[in-house]
Amino acid sequence: MERKVLPVAAKPKHAGGLNGRPSKYHPGIDNTVYNLRLLGASDFRIAAAIKVSVDNFTAWLDRYESLREAYDNGGAKADAFVARQMYHRAVGYSHTAEKLWYNPKTDTVKRATYTEHYAPDVNAGFRWLEFRQPEMWKPTVGSGGFDPASINGQLPPVIVIEPVWSREQAIANRTIEGHAEPTP
């Protein structure tokens, strides 16, 4: 009696290419990771949000290219993009734009290309410097502003503005110094 050998179905491989429990990873997680990285979440918080261990999450970063890309784009790349935009806002910038005019009488559209200019934003410049060189630009608590003693003699460019005295203050100063008689 001849014995028939039936073909054995191959074991299905799971998402990570490993045998065992199927991976919880799915491409929808990429967007969640990207958004959490934009918010500055740590790996621990991201892992908790997607309900896996930190070790699993770290392994996924190595295994799934799209997840690694979302992770990187939401972190350092996003920070670099914002820094670049803040820099442009601080120093001012220009870009080419197009204006369209529609003439309803002739049913025609006229196009004109022009350069749009944006002036530097002083507040953006200050914020840029405050984060890039905090020892020189960060206001100190209680001083009401810049503290020159905190930077070891390296002063940023400063404009000194003298106070404007009112007439009453000038009279009071002369009275105190004995140059005028006080009025009763």
Tens of pLDDT, residues 50-65: 999 999 999 999 999 9
SS3 102: strand
User: What's phi and psi for 102, nearest 5 deg?
Assistant: -110, 130
User: What's phi and psi for 124, nearest 5 deg?
Assistant: -65, -40
DSSP 159-180: ---PPPPPHHHHHHHHHHTTSS
User: What's phi and psi for 112, nearest 5 deg?
Assistant: -140, 130
Side-chain-side CA neighbours of residue 157 (13 Å) = 2
Question: Which pLDDT does position 61 carry in this prediction?
Answer: 92
Question: Which pLDDT does position 137 carry in this prediction?
Answer: 77
Flag whether the pTM goes above 0.85: no
Q: Is the CB of residue 147 less than 8 Å from the CB of residue 140? A: yes
Question: What residues in the chain have per-residue pLDDT under 70?
Answer: 1-19, 139-184
Distances (CA, A) of 54 to 44, 49, 57, 78: 6, 11, 5, 22
Question: Which pLDDT does position 45 carry in this prediction?
Answer: 92
Question: Which pLDDT does position 10 carry in this prediction?
Answer: 45
Question: Which pLDDT does position 76 carry in this prediction?
Answer: 86
Q: For the chain, give every domain's residue range.
A: 28-74, 78-141
Q: Residue 38 and residue 149: Cα distance in Å, rounded? A: 36
Q: Residue 75 has which token pair?
A: 């972190």
